[in-house]
Structure 1
Amino acid sequence: MTEANHGDERALRRESAQIVNEIAQELRTLDNGTTWFSSLSLAGRREVLHEVAGYAMQAHTTAQDGREGVARSGVKPTANPSVMICMDPPRYGFSHLPADEHVKAFRVLVCVFAVADTRRRKTYCKGTCGHPWHNLPTPAQEP
């Protein structure tokens, strides 16, 4: 890979982290995030799915979080990404799903991450959090 590609990957990871956390904190709509995700190349979508699955793992997603997130996502509970995330323990091979499942996987992962991360913000990080992604400025706070 060339250095430019490494820079592109880092930029995509930063952008996806921002967008996913904005969706999780209700600063951006899921539909807006899905439109952004859909505009990415196949490789970009795979990279984002891999990253968001990592966020969900780091948030210690439970099967209950999976069920609640699937309900919020608008994706059928019987769709592959829905079944995968609701397993105990959840399965995370979303970037290996066929391309026609990527949007469903994104919606499910982001919603499940939102549930798990909100729970963690209210318990583990309550009042003492120094995670920058838990302290995003609201649109009114932006310069």
Structure 2
Amino acid sequence: MSQGIEWFSSLAPEEQSQTLRFLAYHCIQARAIAEDGPESISRAGRRPTHTPAVLITRGPIDHQLRKIASLTPIDERYKAFRLLIAVLVIADARRREY
């Protein structure tokens, strides 16, 4: 994960936004479900009070993933990146089981 964070931090702000949207899209394609939220928060090492963590536990997951990908403060983007990677790992693992 540290290499991913390092890579993400080297991107320009617009590239970071594109990357977050790309990850959210792939989370949706991997069929992320609302129940993936709490586990992804834990795997990403986020506190439940961080903005992306709060968003992922509220409402339909596909809408929340898009909101998370649209966060603009730099520190929120790093949190969003870690969380979206965790969601993708969980959803993809479940998809591969079936």
Task: After superposition, give the CA deviation of every residue in 1:15-67 in whole Å (9 maximum; x if it has no partner).
Answer: xxxxxxxxxxxxxxx12111111111101100000000101111111121111
Q: Cα offset for 1:100?
A: 2.2
CA shift for structure 1 position 88: 3.5
Aligned to 1:96: 70
Counterpart of 2:96, as a letter, is: R
Shift of 1:71: 0.4
- Give the corresponding residue for 1:121: 96
CA–CA distance in 2 between the matches of 1:87 and 1:58?
19
* 5+ residue gaps, structure 2: none
CA distance in 1, matches of 2:77, 2:36: 20
Q: Secondary structure at the match of 2:7?
A: helix
Matches within 5 A, 1:64-83: 64-83=35-54
Partner-residue secondary structure (3-state), 1:69: helix
Paired with 2:77 and 2:24, the residues of 1 have a C-alpha distance of: 12
Structure number with larger C-alpha Rg: 1
- Find the counterpart in structure 2 of residue 62 from structure 1: 33
Q: Which amino acid aligns with 2:78?
A: V
Moved over 4 A (4+): none
Residues 44 and 82 in structure 2, CA contact (< 8 A), matched pair in contact too: yes
CA RMSD of aligned residues (A): 1.2
Unaligned stretches of 5+ residues in structure 1: 1-29, 124-143
TM-score if structure 1 supplies the norm length? 0.62
C-alpha distance in structure 1 between counterparts of 2:2 and 2:33, whole Å: 24
Structure with higher RCO (Cα < 8 A, 6+ apart): 2
Task: Give the total of aligned pairs.
Answer: 94
Q: Is the 8 A contact 2:20 2:70 kept in 1?
A: no
Larger % of helix: which? 2
